[in-house]
């Protein structure tokens, strides 16, 4: 048991901190810090800056750009990136399809996709969820039927995040409707979003923004070579992918940053004749949140340290569950600090309300999503109760 | 940064666990021990001494083992796991810790040696009925009498105050707080012991011109020393709480798997299993904080701040887990024959000895606006 980072890890942390705060364009980091939407171009610019320095996909196999880092290094990398308000490498690329292709794709697919995926030359979106297949993902109904050298895809996906920016989609499709277990008849296909028969329809969210879409497939012809791995093994790849998704999902650095900002905002608001930053109730609330976040960060450190064999520690469900709750609590805190100013959400020019107060409520409303996706918090409780407590 | 125990630490855990499991194999055994004075088992106390546990944190030249806060945490967690009533935290970490921190070399040898060997039980007589959770004394005062001192006033509740062979007593002197050693058989000392709800013992300690020996040299204010050692005790209690919470959760999960209602075992009801899952979350987060606080103490970092953080986290978690453990059991959870309610009682006691969660939150709140973020691996925690 030892608290301090080793000198090597201290140096590593400094290196990361220096890179993120000097080598990623400041306008982009300011945009993230202001909690404003980051454009497609900005995402790409940031990820390419990281990739050029070998910092976009350190968790991939070394052969494909990975760094062979320890779990602790990855943790530090992610934390420092979030604290510096660097947009994280697109999860669909770097945490989802990239690792799946690296692990299960054929050599040709690896050569065709991995470098471009790391560099965000291809923007991927995730076609898993369907209107009737949410938490019960394996009940998905989109079909792919073999016809000569092609798969013909019909059906609908939904909640497709940033599908409007995407070049390619990775999709779970039903290839064997007769399989005894529904999980057994699913395959993974990848294809360009501009393939004939693909239609995208935006879904507006409660924050007024457009980040998710419905995607419709009508006789979409996908070449057989675009099947990832083996036919009818798609569920295994999905599970592998979702396991990766949970890594780093605690987002401790991002929440830390929000709390630090909340403290600053509290100094700007006067209530009862004194700044909110001197109000005992507000301070106690921040202290509680900060302490919860500390406990989460320490748990993340404890869990990464114990998952060196690659298998997720059973407690990693705690990270998703608590991580999402604390992100939500931090956004809620900022809305409450803004108070009546938080109503000016869509004010443009001509408003005296500071920008942070304007974005506060849309962000709070938007962040309700974090306990829904990535395996909802109810799903995480099911995992804890079942896998860990044996209930 | 490393959260793993070394082999000596693992050995210590195994040894202590084995000893305590033999001493407290079931609720019945514990109930019978806490049913009569002194509220713990003198034989188990002697065995702990033999194992070196009672001298764990003290320097070897003072008769101790020269171990640190990590080892103390291991022992405390194991005590919590079986609700061992032996006053390890109270006598060794707190009272003994003060002697180690403040006492002269002669006092350390005279007091810590016998404590480590199991021949002498120590208690810290500090709480006063009219003030709470203060590092200072006010109602008990000390006056100089020739070469010695005399103390007057009331201390209560004093954990193990009636059984203790030697009391470490805090008293107001010259506007500050000084610490004194008072022998159990001193003149003008009246001790009225009673049971506490968690099976422990506490006492009213009334001092009436009671002769006392000044601990350490000079009468400079010792509040900061008390604060520091109390913080170490808070951290030990945090570890004890984690052990207790883990047991309460394990017992609850087992119960859900066996108790049948409506023709099925209770674990078929998601309303219950989800609540058990939330208990697990609370336990794991509390564990991380308790371990970290032990490491801060070990690294020589800001133990007062770390102690407050551990106190806050384990207070919230202890209440959550303690209450849910009973509720998920139904009626049997509030019976004395069954184990789980005793865990809740102990967690509730720990929560009020050295400051509760709100108290710790207020202390942390006072400095929240003076730094941007908490870095658990940086200043002021790494020393
Ligand atoms: C903003 C956003 C972006 C998303 N992006 C993508 C994306 O890019 N690609 C993609 O494929 N999907 C995406 N998703 C979809 C996401 O994965 C699903 O929303 C999620 O799986 C939950 O499914 P559902 O919304 O259909 O809710 P449902 O599964 O219908 O659940 C409704 C409620 O019931 C609970 N529940 C469900 N089953 C159980 C159970 N067995 N026990 C207890 N409670 C249960 C849920 O937790 C939830 O509270 C996104 C979702 C959102 C909100």
Q: Is the distance from CB of A326 to CB of A296 less than 8 angstroms?
A: yes
pLDDT of residue A310: 53
Would you call A288 an interface residue with chain B, using a CB distance cutoff of 8 Å? yes
Of B354, B132, B76, the closest CA to residue B230 belongs to: B354
CA-based end-to-end distance of chain B: 14
Whether ligand 1 lies within 6 angstroms of the CB of A142 is answered as no
Residue A200 CA to ligand 1 centre (angstroms)? 20
* Helices A71-83, A252-268: inter-axial angle, 10-degree rounding: 30
pLDDT of residue B140: 98
Which of A70, A255, A262, A291 should be substituted to probe chain B, the one whose Cβ sees the most B Cβ atoms within 10 Å? A291
Backbone angles phi, psi at B84, to 5 degrees: -60, 125
- Report CB contact under 8 Å: A298, B289: yes
Backbone angles phi, psi at B224, to 5 degrees: -65, -35
Residue A304 to residues A74, A300, A314, B1, B378, Cα–Cα distance (Å)? 9, 6, 11, 11, 19
pLDDT of residue A307: 54
pLDDT of residue A243: 75
- What string of H, E and C letters represents the secondary structure of chain A? CECCCCHHHHHHHHHHHHHHHHHCCHHHHHHHHCCCCCCHHHHHHHHHHHHHCCCCCCCCCHHHCCCCCCHHHHHHHHHHHHHCCCCCCCHHHHHHHHHHHHHHCCHHHHHHHHHHHHCCCCCEEEECCECCECCCHHHCCCEEEEECCEEEEEEEECCCCCHHHCCEEEEEEECCCCCCCHHHHEEEEEEECCCCCEEEEEEECCCCCEEEEEEEEEEEEEEHHHEECCCCCHHHHHHHHHHHHHCCCCCHHHHHHHHHHHHHHHHHCEECCEEHHHCHHHHHHHHHHHHHHHHHHHHHHHHHHCCCCCCCCCCHHHHHHHHHHHHHHHHHHHHHHHHHHHHCCCCECECCCCHHHHHHHHHHHHHHHHHCCCCCHHHHHHHHHHHHCCC
pLDDT of residue A247: 62
Of B252, B247, B248, B251, the closest CA to residue B273 belongs to: B252
How far is it, in rounded angstroms, from Cα A267 to Cα A324? 26
A89/chain B closest Cα distance in angstroms: 24
Show residues of chain A in contact with B374, CB under 8 Å: 256, 290, 293-294
Residue A13 to residues A16, A21, A261, Cα–Cα distance (Å)? 5, 12, 22
Of B85, B106, B91, B72, the closest CA to residue B27 belongs to: B85
Whether ligand 1 lies within 6 angstroms of the CB of A161 is answered as yes
How far is it, in rounded angstroms, from Cα A388 to Cα A381? 10
What residues in chain B have per-residue pLDDT under 70?
A: none
Q: Is the distance from CB of B185 to CB of B146 less than 8 angstroms?
A: no
- Report CB contact under 8 Å: A290, B295: no
Q: A187-244: per-residue pLDDT in tens?
A: 999 999 999 999 999 999 999 999 999 999 999 999 999 999 999 999 999 998 887 7
A125 Cα nearest atom in ligand 1: 8
Backbone angles phi, psi at A346, to 5 degrees: -105, 20
Backbone angles phi, psi at B284, to 5 degrees: -65, -40
A323/chain B closest Cα distance in angstroms: 11
DSSP-derived 3-state class of residue B305: helix
Show residues of chain B in contact with A305, CB under 8 Å: 1-4
To the query of whether residue A245 is one of the catalytic residues in this protein, the response is yes
Backbone angles phi, psi at A307, to 5 degrees: -115, 30
Q: Is the distance from CB of A82 to CB of A254 less than 8 angstroms?
A: yes
Show residues of chain A in contact with B313, CB under 8 Å: 291-292, 294-295
Would strands B148-159 and B141-145 be described as parallel, antiparallel, or unpaired?
antiparallel
* DSSP per-residue string spanning B364-378: HHTTGGG-S---TTS
> Quick one: which H or E segment has residue B322?
helix B303-329
- Provide CB contacts within 8 A for A356, sequence distance 6+: A34, A35, A261, A265, A334, A338
Mean of all residue pLDDT scores within chain A: 94
Question: A113 pLDDT band (50/70/90 cuts)?
Answer: very high
pLDDT of residue A245: 63
- Report CB contact under 8 Å: B276, A389: yes
- Report CB contact under 8 Å: B273, A385: yes
Q: Which domains does chain B have, with CATH numbers?
A: 7-120 (1.10.540.10), 123-220 (2.40.110.10), 224-370 (1.20.140.10)
The number of beta carbons lying within 10 Å of the beta carbon of residue B370 is: 7
Q: A17-69: per-residue pLDDT in tens?
A: 999 999 999 999 999 999 998 999 999 999 999 999 999 999 999 999 999 99
Residue A256 CA to ligand 1 centre (angstroms)? 26
DSSP-derived 3-state class of residue B356: coil
Q: Whose CA is nearest to atom 31 of ligand 1?
A: A135
B372/chain A closest Cα distance in angstroms: 5
- Report CB contact under 8 Å: B373, A260: yes
Show residues of chain A in contact with B253, CB under 8 Å: 389-391
A282/chain B closest Cα distance in angstroms: 9
Whether ligand 1 lies within 6 angstroms of the CB of A138 is answered as no
How far is it, in rounded angstroms, from Cα A332 to Cα A362? 11
Would you call A274 an interface residue with chain B, using a CB distance cutoff of 8 Å? no
How far is it, in rounded angstroms, from Cα A264 to Cα B369? 9
Model pTM above 0.90: yes
Show residues of chain B in contact with A389, CB under 8 Å: 249, 253, 273, 276-277, 280
Give the start-end residues of each E strand in chain B: 122-125, 141-145, 148-159, 166-173, 176-183, 189-195, 201-214, 260-261, 264-265
How far is it, in rounded angstroms, from Cα B294 to Cα B69? 5
Question: A252 pLDDT band (50/70/90 cuts)?
Answer: very high
- Provide CB contacts within 8 A for B112, sequence distance 6+: B55, B58, B62, B63, B64, B96, B99, B100, B103
Of the given ranges (A214-228, A241-255, A354-368), which has the lowest mean pLDDT?
A241-255
Residue A372 CA to ligand 1 centre (angstroms)? 5
Would you call A284 an interface residue with chain B, using a CB distance cutoff of 8 Å? yes
How far is it, in rounded angstroms, from Cα A106 to Cα B309? 51
B59 dihedral zone (left: phi>0; alpha: psi -120 to 50; beta): beta
- Report CB contact under 8 Å: A2, B299: yes
Q: Which of A83, A280, A389 faces B280 most closely, judged by CB atoms? A: A389
How far is it, in rounded angstroms, from Cα A15 to Cα B331? 58
Q: Is the distance from CB of A156 to CB of A130 less than 8 angstroms?
A: yes
Catalytic residue among A88, A245, A290, A363: A245
A248/chain B closest Cα distance in angstroms: 17
Assigned token pair, B212: 């006392």
**A 316-335 near B (Cβ less than 8 A):** 318, 321-322
Q: Which domains does chain A have, with CATH numbers?
A: 7-89 (no CATH), 124-231 (2.40.110.10), 250-388 (1.20.140.10)
Q: Which of B253, B312, B381 faces A291 most closely, judged by CB atoms? A: B312
């Amino acid at each position: 048991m030892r608290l301090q980072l080793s000198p090597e890890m201290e140096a590593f942390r400094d290196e990361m901190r220096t890179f993120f705060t000097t080598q990623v364009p400041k306008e982009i980091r300011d945009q993230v810090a202001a909690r404003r939407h980051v454009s497609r171009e900005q995402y790409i610019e940031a990820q390419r800056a990281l990739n050029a320095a070998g910092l976009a996909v350190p968790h991939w196999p070394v052969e494909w750009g990975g760094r062979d880092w320890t779990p602790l290094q990855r943790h530090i990398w992610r934390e420092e990136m979030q604290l510096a308000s660097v947009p994280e490498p697109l999860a669909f690329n770097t945490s989802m399809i990239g690792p799946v292709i690296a692990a299960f794709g054929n050599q040709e697919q690896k050569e065709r996709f991995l470098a471009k995926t790391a560099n965000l030359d291809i923007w991927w979106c995730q076609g898993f969820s369907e209107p009737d297949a949410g938490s019960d993902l394996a009940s998905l109904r989109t079909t792919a039927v073999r016809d000569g050298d092609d798969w013909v895809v019909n059906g609908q996906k939904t909640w497709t995040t940033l599908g409007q920016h995407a070049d390619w989609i990775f999709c779970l499709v039903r290839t064997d409707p007769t399989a005894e277990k529904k999980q057994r008849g699913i395959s993974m296909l990848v294809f360009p979003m501009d393939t004939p028969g693909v239609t995208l329809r935006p879904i507006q969210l409660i924050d007024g923004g457009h980040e998710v879409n419905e995607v419709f497939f009508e006789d979409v012809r996908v070449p057989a070579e675009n099947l990832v791995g083996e036919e009818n093994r798609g569920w295994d790849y999905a599970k592998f992918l979702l396991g990766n998704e949970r890594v780093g999902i605690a987002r401790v650095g991002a929440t830390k940053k929000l709390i630090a900002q909340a403290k600053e905002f509290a100094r700007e608001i006067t209530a009862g004749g004194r700044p909110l930053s001197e109000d005992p109730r507000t301070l106690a609330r921040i202290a509680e949140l900060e302490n919860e976040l500390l406990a989460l960060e320490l748990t993340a450190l404890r869990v990464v340290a114990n998952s060196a064999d690659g298998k997720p520690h059973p407690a990693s469900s705690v990270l998703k569950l608590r991580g999402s709750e604390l992100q939500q609590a931090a956004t809620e805190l900022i809305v409450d600090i803004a108070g009546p100013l938080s109503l000016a959400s869509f004010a443009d020019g001509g408003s005296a309300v500071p920008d942070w107060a304007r974005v506060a409520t849309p962000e709070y409303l938007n962040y309700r999503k974090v306990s829904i996706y990535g395996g909802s918090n109810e799903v995480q409780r099911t995992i804890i109760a079942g896998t860990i407590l044996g209930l | 940064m490393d959260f793993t125990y070394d082999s000596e630490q693992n050995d210590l855990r195994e040894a202590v666990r084995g000893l305590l499991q033999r001493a407290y194999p079931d609720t019945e055994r514990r109930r019978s021990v806490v049913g009569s004075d002194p509220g713990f088992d003198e034989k188990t106390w002697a065995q702990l001494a033999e194992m070196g546990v009672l001298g764990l944190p003290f320097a070897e030249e003072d008769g101790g083992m020269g171990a640190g806060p990590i080892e103390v945490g291991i022992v405390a967690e194991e005590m919590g796991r079986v609700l061992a009533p032996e006053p390890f935290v109270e006598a060794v970490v707190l009272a003994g810790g003060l002697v180690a921190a403040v006492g002269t070399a002669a006092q350390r040898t005279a007091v810590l040696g016998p404590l480590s060997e199991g021949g002498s039980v120590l208690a810290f007589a500090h709480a006063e009925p009219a003030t709470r959770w203060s590092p200072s004394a006010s109602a008990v005062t000390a006056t100089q009498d020739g070469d010695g001192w005399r103390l007057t006033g009331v201390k209560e509740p004093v954990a193990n105050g009636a059984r203790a062979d030697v009391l470490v007593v805090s008293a107001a002197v010259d506007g500050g707080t000084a610490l004194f050693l008072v022998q159990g058989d001193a003149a003008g000392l009246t001790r009225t012991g009673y049971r506490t709800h968690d099976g422990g013992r506490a006492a009213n300690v009334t001092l009436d011109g009671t002769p006392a020996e000044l601990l350490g040299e000079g009468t400079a204010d010792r509040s900061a020393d008390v604060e520091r050692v109390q913080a170490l005790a808070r951290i030990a209690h945090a570890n004890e709480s984690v052990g207790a919470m883990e047991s309460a959760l394990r017992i609850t999960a087992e119960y859900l798997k066996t108790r049948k209602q409506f023709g099925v075992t209770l674990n078929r009801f998601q309303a219950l299993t989800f609540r058990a899952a939330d208990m697990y979350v609370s336990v794991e987060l509390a564990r991380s904080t308790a371990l970290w606080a032990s490491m801060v103490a070990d690294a020589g970092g800001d133990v007062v701040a770390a102690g407050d953080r551990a106190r806050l986290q384990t207070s919230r978690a202890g209440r959550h887990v303690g209450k849910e453990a009973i509720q998920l059991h139904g009626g049997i959870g509030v019976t004395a024959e069954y184990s789980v309610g005793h865990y809740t009682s102990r967690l509730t006691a720990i929560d009020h000895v050295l400051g509760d969660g709100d108290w710790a939150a207020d202390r942390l709140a006072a400095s929240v606006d003076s730094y941007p973020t908490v870095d658990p691996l940086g200043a002021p925690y790494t020393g």
